[in-house]
Amino acid sequence: GAVVSQHPSWVICKSGTSVKIECRSLDFQATTMFWYRQFPKQSLMLMATSNEGSKATYEQGVEKDKFLINHASLTLSTLTVTSAHPEDSSFYICSYSGVIAANEQFFGPGTRLTVL
């Protein structure tokens, strides 16, 4: 299957700081990538859709000024959590659409963010 990497795998930061998470597709040039958030023992919730070369589309209730998404190339998308607070602590997962069918999604390993 397709390979997606995320960096870092986990991060701990102080409240008020910003954290950047990278998502890379290693064997495919992805025009569309997705960012999800997952709280403990819950399902995945789509935060935003990231399109290469254009602005990301955010889901209702997700603050675009707090969760900055940049999809500058076909293999890299970044999510920056600005002025992080403890309630932002979560598991952040990226995915991208497959080649054969646009509805197939392959997920990265996730990034565990803990805000103190």
Partner 1 sequence: GENVEQHPSTLSVQEGDSAVIKCTYSDSASNYFPWYKQELGKGPQLIIDIRSNVGEKKDQRIAVTLNKTAKHFSLHITETQPEDSAVYFCAAFSNDYKLSFGAGTTVTVRA
Interface residues with partner 1 (CB under 8 A) are: 1, 4, 6, 34, 42-44, 46, 49, 93, 95, 101-110, 112
We find the least distance from the C-beta atom of residue 96 to partner 1, in angstroms, to be 12
Assess contact for 109 and 21: CB atoms under 8 A: no
In 3D space, the residue among 55, 47, 57 whose CA is nearest the CA of residue 91 turns out to be 47
Considering beta carbons, is residue 43 or 54 the nearer one to partner 1? 43
We find the least distance from the C-beta atom of residue 111 to partner 1, in angstroms, to be 9
Considering beta carbons, is residue 40 or 86 the nearer one to partner 1? 40
Alpha-carbon distance 33 to 25, whole Å?
A: 9
We find the least distance from the C-beta atom of residue 99 to partner 1, in angstroms, to be 14
Alpha-carbon distance 71 to 67, whole Å?
A: 13
Considering beta carbons, is residue 46 or 74 the nearer one to partner 1? 46
Alpha-carbon distance 83 to 18, whole Å?
A: 5
